[in-house]
Amino acid sequence: MKQTTEPKVMRDPIHGYIHVDEQVIWDCINAKEMQRLRRIHQLGGDFQIYHTAEHSRFSHSLGVYEIVRRMVYEIYELREALSEEEKVTVMLAGLLHDIGHGPFSHAFEAISVYPHEEYTKKIILGNSEIHRILEDVDAHLPEAVAAVIGYCHPNDLLNQIVSGQLDADRMDYLLRDAYFTGTSYGNFDLERIIRTVRIVDQKLCVKESGIHSVEDYIMARYHMYWQVYLHPVARSYEGLLAMLFQRMKDLYQEDQSSLKEVEMFHPFLSQRGADEAALFALDEAAAFYGVSLLREHADGVLRDLARRVLDRDLFEYATVIDNFQVDKLRSRVQACGFHPHYYVFCDKASQTPYSPYQRDQSGHNIWILCEDGTVKELSEVSDIVHAVCHEKLKEDRKVYFPKEIIL
Ligand code: NI
């Protein structure tokens, strides 16, 4: 594998430094599809509630790469078990796993025909700079990298490193999102986890002596979900965007010419679905420009929703008690002159910190290598984890509506 002429290092607030030694990784970082991720927020709507959560998918992707790099070189058993090609393949998979994300993450996926995983595959296997860089190294490299991201590489260790239960993706985003939101819940001891990972029967395990750092990681996930990822204000912003996209889609289907000023959205509004080139063109800068043009649109609903998005005039929310309450809200919204289809939405959030079902797939469990040499699933060994994953599923149903109706 060709090395860079000199070791490349980039400063990073989570990992200290990101180290790059292979030319193919450096070239992928500099490819246009990767650079586009600088213009996509890592956390869809969370910068509306945590004002410093402005970090990008680019920095998260570098962070995942760095954790993978450390795992394959610093975990002795992994370093021995994997070939040079496998190491580079899994590091590339970490770097490229989010390459297919559109603007505003999940809000946008509500109107996109294809999910981001599908675009990731298309970019790695299709007509892209990334594909050409990988192919130049080895004709099979694009398929191998896509297989790891799709959790179907024949060497299951590689799949577990990028997207198991204790994987580089989750470990980076928890630490990074905690740092950039200014919350402390996402912290856990990454160093200790890396130091205690072992391999037994092609499964990544953590030594029993490292169990406290794994418990911390599970609790970090739990708190980050409720405090950050499912925060009702972030959901309100994302819901507003989804309503705006829905209105655009409905108008476009009636009359395409009614949206001629926002061509960047057209491929996503048609039933056919957009290709990789259209996704590449639509970063958040382009999307925000489109939304700012809609502020002057002839359609009153579009105009108002665009203004709300840009001025952060978010919807109010209430916890759902029953359907009767939601119906009453809908009538009230309509009586106040709003179209209930675009001005009321419900959202159900639920999250378990860790659920060890699907016991056949090693990637869905966290395995502990006990002192007596046996391997057990985490909740069998940890009382804390046992307690949280056998607790009733925590559910939160909210309804969102314009605050004008309660004045
Ligand atoms: Ni990710």
From ligand 1's centre to the CA of 154, what distance in Å? 22
CB 366 within 8 A of CB 377: yes
Q: How far is the CA of 288 from the centre of ligand 1 (A)?
A: 23
CA 252 to ligand 1 center in whole angstroms: 32
Rounded distance from Cα 275 to ligand 1 centre (Å):
22
In this prediction, residue 360 carries a pLDDT of 44
Strands 16-22 and 316-319: unpaired
Q: How far is the CA of 366 from the centre of ligand 1 (A)?
A: 19
299 C-alpha to ligand 1 centroid (Å): 37
Q: Residue 392 class from Cβ within 10 Å (0-12 exposed, 13-18 middle, 19+ buried)?
A: exposed
Residue 395: predicted pLDDT: 80
Q: How far is the CA of 340 from the centre of ligand 1 (A)?
A: 35
Percent share of the chain, pLDDT over 70: 96
Asked if residue 96 lies in contact with residue 169, where contact means CB atoms within 8 angstroms, the answer is no
17 DSSP β-pair partners: 11
User: Cα of 101 to ligand 1 centre, how many Å?
Assistant: 10
* Pairing status of strand 203-207 against strand 197-200: antiparallel
pTM: 0.94
Residue 363 has pLDDT above 60, yes or no: no
Q: Give me ligand 1 centre to Cα 62, in Å.
A: 10
Question: Mind listing the pLDDT tens digit for each residue in 267-286?
Answer: 999 888 899 999 999 999 99
Query: What average pLDDT does the segment 192-196 reach?
Result: 96
Task: Measure the CA–CA gap between 59 and 61, rounded to whole angstroms.
Answer: 5
Would you state the pLDDT for residue 157? 96
101-142 confidence digits (pLDDT tens): 999 877 888 778 889 999 999 999 999 999 999 999 999 999
Burial-class residue 152 by CB neighbours within 10 Å (0-12, 13-18, 19+). exposed
- Cα 70 to middle of ligand 1, angstroms: 17
Cα→Cα distances 199→77, 78, 167, 278, 332, Å: 6, 7, 14, 42, 59
Q: What are the pLDDT digits (tens) for 18-73?
A: 999 999 999 999 999 999 999 999 998 899 999 999 999 999 999 999 999 999 99
| 3-state DSSP of 1-55 | CCEEEEEEEEEECCCEEEEEEEHHHHHHHCCHHHHHHHHCECCCCHHHCCCCCCC
pLDDT above 60: residue 167: yes
Cα separation, 11 vs 366, whole angstroms: 31
Q: For residue 130, what are the β-bridge partners?
A: none
